[in-house]
C-alpha cells in the first residue's frame, strides 16, 4: 500500500516510521524545507506521560474572566469573529465539566502509556539519540491555593497515574539544587519520578535520516500542499507543482490541518495556540537542573537537555489563542525570559532570540485520530500541548486503524466528531 503522510513534524514522522515498519510505501510531504520545523522544533521537551489533564476544565472556566482581561496572564484569548473560532470556543466551554476532564484524562493516560512503549521501540529500532532520559518532574507552587489544588490533583491521580510525592518548599529545593527561588516564595511541590524528557527536533532529524535510507520512503519538501479530490475522494495532493497520488493520505499538518481540511470540504476543530521558548545554557555546572521543573503559577516549564557539548535548559510557556499568526510578540517572549530569570541562573545571552510555535489545540485537548469525512484521508492531528509526548502512540493507533488491525486503545475516544 502506498501512503502519503502530510506533515514532517514529530507526528507525521512517527506515522511515516510506523507505516514503513508495517511494510507500506511512504511519501512524506511538507511545506518546510527541512523536517521538524513546526511546533516540533522548539517545544518544552517534556515527555509528560502523567500530566495529561485537559485545558478545558471547571478551574479554567473559573479563571476565564481574568484570562480575558489580564494582558499579563500566561494564557491569552484574542476574540476572532469567524465561525470556526466561535464553534471551537463553544465546544471548549462544553468540555469544562468534571466528567469531561475525567474522560479525557483517562483517554490521554492510555494513549500516553502506549506512546511511551512505542517510543521505546522506535528509539531502539532506529538507533536514535535525542537526549531522552527519565529525569523526573518537579512541579513547584508559589501560591498557597495552587499548591492545595496541585496536592488534590496528585491525590486524585493516585492509582490511575504514576506515584507522586508531595514536598514542602525546603524539600523542593533539596530535590532540585538548580532552583533559584527563595525558600520563602515556595509553598511546595509535587514530584513524579517516572516522567521523561527528550529533544523532539533531534528525534525528527534522526528519524528522517533513517527513513531517507529506505528506498520505499521518499520526501517532498518545500511548497504548500493542496488537495486534489475526485468525486469527493482524496486521490492526490499537489506539492511543488507535481501531483502525488496514493492509496491513502494521513493528515499530520498540526495547526495547518484545519486549513487543509477546509480545502477538502469539512471542518476540523483545531485552533493554533501560540507558545514561546528559549534554549539557555546554565551559568555554571552548579546551575544545571537534575529534573524537569514546572513553575506552576507562572506556567513555565524547564527541561534540562544533556547534549554532548553540555546541558541546555529549554524554557517554554505562554498559551495564546490568537489565530494562525507566527509573529513573535516581544512582550510575551519577554515574559518567558523573566520567568526563567526568576527561577534559575542561566546565561540569558546564550539565546537572545527565542522561538515561537503553534500548538494544534482541540476543544477537549485530545488529538483527532481516525477516518475523516473524506474517503482516502485519515486524521492524526490536533495534539495540542502534548504532541511530542503522544506522537508515537498516536502513530500506532492511526496505522492500526488504517490497516484494519485491533486498536491498542479505545479508538472512539479520539475519533473525529466524538
Question: Are 327 and 333 in contact, with CB atoms under 8 Å apart?
Answer: no
Residue 112 near ligand FAD by CB under 6 A = no
Told to check if 365 binds ligand FAD by CB under 6 A, we report no
Rounded to 5°, angle at Cα 256 from 254 and 259: 135
Asked whether 253 and 39 are in contact (CB, 8 A), the reply is no
287 sits in which H/E element: none
Is 108 near ligand FAD (CB under 6 A)? no
Taking the complex as a whole, the smallest distance from the CB of residue 46 to ligand FAD amounts, in Å, to: 3
Considering beta carbons, is residue 20 or 48 the nearer one to ligand FAD? Answer: 48
Terminal-to-terminal C-alpha distance of the chain: 28
Contact at 8 Å (CB) between 350 and 322?
no
Nearer to ligand FAD, 178 or 317 (CB): 317
Of 3, 4, 5, 10, which one interacts with ligand FAD (CB under 6 A)?
10
User: Of residues 369-398, which lie at the interface with ligand FAD (CB under 6 A)?
Assistant: 381, 383-389
Taking the complex as a whole, the smallest distance from the CB of residue 244 to ligand FAD amounts, in Å, to 12
3-class SS of residue 368: strand
Q: Output the DSSP codes for 279-322.
A: EEEESSGGG--SSEEEETTTTEEEEEEEETTEEEEEEEEEEEE-
Q: Which is nearer to ligand FAD, 173 or 409 (CB)?
A: 409
Residue 406 DSSP symbol? P
Binding-residue pattern over the window 45 to 64 for ligand FAD, x denoting contact by CB under 6 A: xx-x----------------
Determine, following the binding rule CB under 6 A, whether residue 304 of this chain makes contact with ligand FAD: no
Q: Which helix (H) or strand (E) holds 187?
A: none
Work out whether the CA dihedral 219, 224, 225, 228 comes out positive or negative.
Answer: negative
Q: Which residue has cell 512524506? A: 28
CB of 44 to ligand FAD, least distance (A): 3
CB of 131 to ligand FAD, least distance (A): 13
State how far the alpha carbon of 130 is from the alpha carbons of 22, 62, 196, 294, 390, in Å: 24, 39, 12, 21, 16
Q: How far is the CB of 277 from ligand FAD (least distance, A)?
A: 5
Is 80 exposed, middle or buried (CB count within 10 Å of its CB: 0-12, 13-18, 19+)?
middle
Among 28, 119, 208, 225, binds ligand FAD (CB under 6 A): 225
Nearer to ligand FAD, 128 or 173 (CB): 128
Whether residue 350 contacts residue 281, with contact meaning beta carbons closer than 8 Å, is answered with yes
CA distance linking residue 300 with residue 44, whole number of Å? 9
Nearer to ligand FAD, 40 or 192 (CB): 40
The C-alpha cell that represents 229 in the structure block? 479530490
Cβ of residue 304: shortest distance to ligand FAD, in angstroms? Answer: 13
Tally Cβ neighbours within 10 Å of residue 330.
10
Instruction: Tell the smallest beta-carbon distance from residue 103 to ligand FAD (Å).
Output: 20
Residue 122, CA distances (Å) to 3, 208, 341, 417 in order: 19, 12, 36, 30
Binding of ligand FAD by 139 (CB under 6 A): no
Among 275, 354, 370, 393, binds ligand FAD (CB under 6 A): 275
Residue of the chain from 18, 19, 31, 362 that contacts ligand FAD (CB under 6 A): 31
Interatomic CA distance for residues 122 and 207, integer angstroms: 9
Q: Would you give the binding string for ligand FAD spanning residues 312-341, x where CB under 6 A is met?
A: ----x-------------------------
Each residue 205-224 as x (binds ligand FAD by CB under 6 A) or -, in order, gives -------------------x
CB 36 within 8 A of CB 13: yes
Give the span between the Cα atoms of 95 and 281, in whole angstroms: 39
Which residues in 234-263 contact ligand FAD (CB under 6 A)? 252-256, 260
Instruction: Name the residue whose CB lies closest to ligand FAD.
Output: 387
Of 4, 8, 181, 201, the one binding ligand FAD (CB under 6 A) is 8
**For ligand FAD, the closer CB: 100 or 299:** 299
Site residues for ligand FAD per CB under 6 A: 7-12, 30-32, 37-40, 43-46, 48, 224-225, 252-256, 260, 275-277, 301, 316, 357, 359-360, 381, 383-389
Amino acid at each position: 500500500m502506498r501512503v502519503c503522510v502530510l506533515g514532517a513534524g514529530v507526528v507525521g514522522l512517527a506515522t511515516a516510521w510506523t507505516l514503513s515498519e508495517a511494510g507500506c510505501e511512504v511519501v512524506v510531504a511538507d511545506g518546510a524545507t527541512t523536517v521538524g520545523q513546526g511546533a516540533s522544533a522548539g517545544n518544552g521537551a517534556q515527555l509528560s506521560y502523567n500530566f495529561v489533564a485537559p485545558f478545558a476544565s471547571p478551574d479554567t472556566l473559573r479563571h476565564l474572566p481574568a484570562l480575558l482581561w489580564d494582558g499579563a496572564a500566561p494564557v491569552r484569548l484574542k476574540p476572532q469573529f469567524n465561525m470556526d473560532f466561535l464553534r471551537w470556543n463553544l465546544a471548549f466551554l462544553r468540555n469544562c465539566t468534571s466528567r469531561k476532564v475525567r474522560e479525557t484524562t483517562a483517554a490521554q493516560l492510555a494513549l500516553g502509556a502506549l506512546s511511551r512503549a512505542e517510543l521505546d521501540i522506535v528509539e531502539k529500532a532506529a538507533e536514535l539519540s535525542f537526549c531522552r532520559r527519565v529525569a523526573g518532574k518537579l512541579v513547584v507552587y508559589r501560591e498557597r491555593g495552587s499548591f492545595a489544588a496541585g496536592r488534590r490533583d496528585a491525590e486524585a491521580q493516585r492509582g490511575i497515574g504514576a506515584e507522586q510525592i508531595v514536598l514542602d518548599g525546603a524539600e523542593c529545593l533539596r530535590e532540585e539544587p538548580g532552583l533559584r527561588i527563595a525558600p520563602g516564595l515556595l509553598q511546595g511541590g509535587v514530584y513524579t519520578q517516572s516522567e521523561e524528557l527528550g529533544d523532539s527536533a533531534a528525534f525528527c532529524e534522526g528519524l528522517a535520516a533513517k527513513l531517507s535510507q529506505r528506498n520505499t520512503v521518499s520526501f517532498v519538501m518545500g511548497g504548500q500542499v493542496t488537495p486534489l479530490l475526485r468525486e469527493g475522494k482524496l486521490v492526490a495532493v499537489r506539492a511543488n507543482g507535481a501531483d502525488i497520488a496514493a492509496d491513502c493520505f494521513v493528515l499530520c499538518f498540526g495547526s495547518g490541518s484545519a486549513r487543509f481540511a477546509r480545502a477538502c470540504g469539512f471542518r476540523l476543530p483545531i485552533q493554533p495556540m501560540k507558545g514561546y521558548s528559549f534554549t539557555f545554557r546554565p551559568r555554571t555546572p552548579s546551575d544545571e537542573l537534575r529534573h524537569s521543573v514546572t513553575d506552576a503559577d507562572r506556567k513555565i516549564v524547564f527541561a534540562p537537555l544533556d547534549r554532548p557539548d553540555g546541558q541546555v535548559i529549554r524554557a517554554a510557556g505562554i498559551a495564546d489563542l490568537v489565530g494562525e499568526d507566527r509573529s513573535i510578540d516581544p512582550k510575551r517572549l519577554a515574559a518567558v525570559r523573566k520567568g526563567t530569570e526568576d527561577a534559575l541562573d542561566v546565561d540569558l545571552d546564550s539565546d537572545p532570540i527565542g522561538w515561537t510555535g503553534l500548538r494544534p489545540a482541540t476543544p477537549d485537548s485530545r488529538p483527532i485520530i481516525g477516518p475523516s469525512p473524506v474517503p482516502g484521508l485519515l486524521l492524526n492531528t490536533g495534539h495540542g500541548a502534548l504532541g511530542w509526548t503522544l506522537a508515537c502512540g498516536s502513530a500506532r493507533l492511526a496505522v492500526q486503524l488504517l490497516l484494519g488491525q485491533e486498536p491498542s486503545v479505545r479508538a472512539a475516544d479520539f475519533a473525529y466528531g466524538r
